Structure 1
Amino acid sequence: MNKTLVATADLSESKNIVSSETPEKFLEKGLQSPENVSVGCLYPYLESKKLQDGSTAFYPRIIGERDSNNPKHWRWGFNWKETINSVWKGRSIGSIPCGAVPMIRAMQLQGATREEIIAFIKRAKTKSPRKPKLPANAPIAVVLFAGGGGVEAGMVSAGIRPVIAVEHDPSKPKLSRAIAQVHDRNFSAYGCKVIQQSVQEVAASGFQGFPQRPDYLHASPVCANFSQAHTAKAGAALETPDDLSAAQAVAAAVRQLRPRVFTLENVPRYLSSQSFTIILNALESLGYNVNYSVVNMADYGLPQARKRFVLVACFDVILTLPPKNKPVGWYSAIAHLIPTMPDSQLLSRQQQALSQFLATNEPAPLLIERVGGRKLAKYKPGHLPANTILRSHFTDHKGCNRNKFADIWLPDGTVKSLSIQAAAILQGFPSWYEFPLEAATAGSIIGYSVPPSFATQLFIYFIYIQKQLEQ
């Protein structure tokens, strides 16, 4: 099948073009100068195929006349020039999904760089990858307070096999069961067993059936009483007997299972709690090398500002956090999905937030939250990481679904409702992770989870350090 390229300026005459050569007006007007040829050009084309009867068919096939204004009536490509050894060379990417065309045009109007456009195109063309395959001798991990498996997704991507995940929240039994089912659907293929009991109950049973000396043990104790929203209302963290018993259960797991590496993640206020002191004392009494700090996940390439307390402990190695990465704006992370998101309308307080932004800034893509009471809606320009994603964004005070939780405003006036798929990317979930259809459950998994992309970096770095020391 041959490509029949059609210059943007010549679309009205496209039905008469059968040549597979690049037309003279291939580059858009103004891109012929050496300063501009590297910017690139979005172009439509047709694919031609010689049939057995001698006739020529053009693809995509349509009924009736081909519409020059309908992106679905054309194949799409992106062409640019770059210098290689001081010589200009032509480059192109074809078979761009037609749904991505409006966003590419918008990016061009907004002055996006060629690299940003090419990165967007590659993401738009990428098919969902399959789940990683792990060797039989992969390191194993046990996870306490597993939720939907954010840290497990990061572990799997790092080559670690989760074998047991404990997930049960007595205060939200229905939601916890739904989350456990999603966990099982995503990780049962790796032989991971979900135990639907509280960590305290599992500790009381002596961790029966758990592997001794696993390579990794992770815990993310329930953080509701230490969260910023809770302490803002109460004035201080109200540590409960359940919080303390959960910490004691984690300490018991460390003492009994003796993992080589222990990791813990929680909100920053957990650092000053008695619960943390219980766990820290257990680790130090057993001779673990302990390192902990509050980090912003955005410093590790997550397209979201998310401050969390992270602890790493190891018997035989002093582990540190991995090197930081370049920050990523939310827009570049999810721009390829925006054409697929449902249309929306801004609420009055979102409109006020937009007006406030435009009063002192040039128009730029904005991610504007819909929740938050009567206060001015929080927003973030596209070049910055998104605000922290919380479970409360997806559910109301009764735990019911919110159909809309955030909107994307584009400078051309387009307003889109942020999708669960996009929120998952902002939280660092891999594309192979399967979310449930119910927004409350999916949003709870996203809002509660350790960002998988951060977990992957963390564990890959640990594996690297350990291998370096073994050489």
Structure 2
Amino acid sequence: MTESTVRVSVIDLFSGAGGLSLGLRQAGMSIAAGIDVEEACRYPYEANIEAPFLAADVRDITGEMLTRTWAPGHVRLLAGCAPCQPFSAYRRGADTSGEASWPLLDEFGRLVRESRPELVTMENVPRIGSSDVFSRFVSALRTLGYCVAFGVCHGPAYGLPQQRRRLVLSASLLGEVSTPSPPNPRAEAVSVRHAIAGLPSLAAGESDPNDRLHKARVLSATNLQRIQASSPGGTWEEWPEELRAPCHRKSTGASFRNVYARMTWDDPSPTITTMAFNFGTGRFGHPEQDRAISLREAAILQGFPREYAFVEPGKPVHFSTVGRMIGNAVPPPIAKAAGQHLLHHVRKATEAA
């Protein structure tokens, strides 16, 4: 039996705009549904993944609902990326223990217990690996009889043009399982240049008439001067004194070298966040043009194909809404590798049976 004959049906919890589903579909899996609380994700999910989208809070979903949704006769995979904001390195040590996102991984565990799919995969930021909620999740899976493996995947090793690290967990009732290996560990990292250099040039505030998502945010007069004074890979320290912000003049300002900064052409990008369209929130300045990266460039650096549709035709493109969908997405290349790895695992388990 080959991977192409293995039939796996996927339900994607916390699906967002479909990054995880896209990667798993590219791997050869069948997507049964995506579930997310954000109604704005319905159009990109259904338009690109061509699978049903359910706008619902995961706390209102039951195992019985999932069981009715998976395709009959398939190996069932419950996949998802619970919101990771409480564990993000960008939170700089803030106390996040009271946030509503914390219990959502427990809800993921509840749905595994109620529906008992053959396979589970979960992706999140690496810091979640040292949290109590993650330990509970792993313990619950093992108590239910799942073999569990998890590890950190570095984006460039999987063809992602971004310095993103993600924890990927695989669990199976079919036997011992491992984490996905890079498809070509000796491959050269995909650079920002390779990913986005071919897109039309824009000025700050402009949009590409042929691609509404290739849209750059307006810069204030001061920020335009700042980016003009910035070199690729440089910091605010190269600016004239009059352009420096008050925080830069404080002794603590030295720790903020990766904001108000340009990317470099020949390296992968920094981690794409929900605010990657904003010059002031990271190293999100275009390497050459005097603007922040566009929404389309952020999506490409996150691993989405250039034609991926995020906004329904005729509807306005809002930076905050689309930026959140892009920044919160699972990078499809990492999801594809995880899907291929699980398909291989299922084939081996089937042959051994």
Question: Deviation at 1:206?
Answer: 6.3
1:356-435 alignment runs, 5 A limit: 357=234, 375-376=256-257, 377-394=260-277, 406-410=284-288, 415=290, 417-435=292-310
Corresponding position of 2:342: 462
Corresponding position of 2:27: 158
Question: Deviation at 1:195?
Answer: 1.8
Q: Residues 202-222 of structure 1, C-alpha deviation per residue, up to 9 Å, x if partnerless?
A: 149865734388521112111
Question: Deviation at 1:149?
Answer: 0.8
Supply the distance in 2 between the matched residues of 1:309 and 1:384 (Cα, whole angstroms).
22
Cα RMSD after superposing both structures: 3.3
Supply the distance in 1 between the matched residues of 2:287 and 2:104 (Cα, whole angstroms).
42
| 8 Å CA contact retained: 1:394, 1:444 | no
Corresponding position of 1:182: 44
Corresponding position of 1:341: 201
Supply the distance in 2 between the matched residues of 1:274 and 1:139 (Cα, whole angstroms).
31
Corresponding position of 1:100: none
Supply the distance in 2 between the matched residues of 1:332 and 1:268 (Cα, whole angstroms).
27
Which is strand-richer, 1 or 2?
Answer: 1
Corresponding position of 2:85: 224
Shift in CA distance, 297/435, structure 1 to aligned 2, threshold 3 Å = same
Shift in CA distance, 334/205, structure 1 to aligned 2, threshold 3 Å = same
Shift in CA distance, 438/214, structure 1 to aligned 2, threshold 3 Å = farther
Question: Deviation at 1:263?
Answer: 0.8
Shift in CA distance, 388/302, structure 1 to aligned 2, threshold 3 Å = same
Supply the distance in 2 between the matched residues of 1:204 and 1:254 (Cα, whole angstroms).
7
Letter paired with 2:194: S
Supply the distance in 1 between the matched residues of 2:33 and 2:279 (Cα, whole angstroms).
31
Q: Residues 348-387 of structure 1, C-alpha deviation per residue, up to 9 Å, x if partnerless?
A: 44345428849xxxxxxxxxxxx9x865523332221101
| 8 Å CA contact retained: 2:161, 2:268 | yes
Shift in CA distance, 158/248, structure 1 to aligned 2, threshold 3 Å = same
| 8 Å CA contact retained: 2:302, 2:331 | yes
| 8 Å CA contact retained: 1:343, 1:417 | no
Shift in CA distance, 392/281, structure 1 to aligned 2, threshold 3 Å = same
TM-score, length basis structure 2: 0.74
Corresponding position of 2:214: none
| 8 Å CA contact retained: 2:233, 2:264 | no
Question: Deviation at 1:440?
Answer: 2.3
Q: 2:327 aligns with which of 440, 443, 447?
A: 447
Corresponding position of 1:139: 8
Shift in CA distance, 428/319, structure 1 to aligned 2, threshold 3 Å = same
Q: Secondary structure at the residue paired with 1:147?
A: coil
Q: Secondary structure at the residue paired with 2:100?
A: helix
Q: Secondary structure at the residue paired with 1:162?
A: strand
1:28-67 alignment runs, 5 A limit: none
TM-score, length basis structure 1: 0.57
| 8 Å CA contact retained: 1:200, 1:245 | no
Note the residue ranges of structure 1 that are not aligned, 5 or more in a row. Answer: 1-134, 169-175, 359-370
| 8 Å CA contact retained: 1:150, 1:429 | yes
Q: Secondary structure at the residue paired with 1:277?
A: helix
**Larger Rg computed on CA atoms:** 1
Question: Deviation at 1:246?
Answer: 1.6
Q: Secondary structure at the residue paired with 1:379?
A: coil
| 8 Å CA contact retained: 2:35, 2:56 | yes
Shift in CA distance, 383/286, structure 1 to aligned 2, threshold 3 Å = same
Q: Residues 196-245 of structure 1, C-alpha deviation per residue, up to 9 Å, x if partnerless?
A: 11111114986573438852111211112111222x152x5x22373453
Per mean C-alpha deviation after superposition, the further-off stretch among 153-162 and 314-323 is 314-323
Q: Residues 398-452 of structure 1, C-alpha deviation per residue, up to 9 Å, x if partnerless?
A: xxxx9xx943244xxx546522222211111123421223332221111000001
Note the residue ranges of structure 2 that are not aligned, 5 or more in a row. Answer: 205-218, 236-244, 249-255, 312-316
Corresponding position of 2:216: none
How many residues matched?
301
| 8 Å CA contact retained: 2:277, 2:294 | no
Supply the distance in 2 between the matched residues of 1:297 and 1:461 (Cα, whole angstroms).
16
Supply the distance in 2 between the matched residues of 1:288 and 1:221 (Cα, whole angstroms).
19
1:15-94 alignment runs, 5 A limit: none
Letter paired with 1:222: P
Letter paired with 1:422: E
Shift in CA distance, 355/206, structure 1 to aligned 2, threshold 3 Å = closer
Supply the distance in 2 between the matched residues of 1:468 and 1:205 (Cα, whole angstroms).
29
Q: Residues 92-122 of structure 1, C-alpha deviation per residue, up to 9 Å, x if partnerless?
A: xxxxxxxxxxxxxxxxxxxxxxxxxxxxxxx
Supply the distance in 1 between the matched residues of 2:33 and 2:232 (Cα, whole angstroms).
50
Supply the distance in 2 between the matched residues of 1:347 and 1:433 (Cα, whole angstroms).
30
Q: 1:305 aligns with which of 163, 166, 185?
A: 163
Supply the distance in 2 between the matched residues of 1:390 and 1:308 (Cα, whole angstroms).
13
Corresponding position of 1:256: 114
Supply the distance in 2 between the matched residues of 1:184 and 1:329 (Cα, whole angstroms).
30
Supply the distance in 2 between the matched residues of 1:207 and 1:321 (Cα, whole angstroms).
26
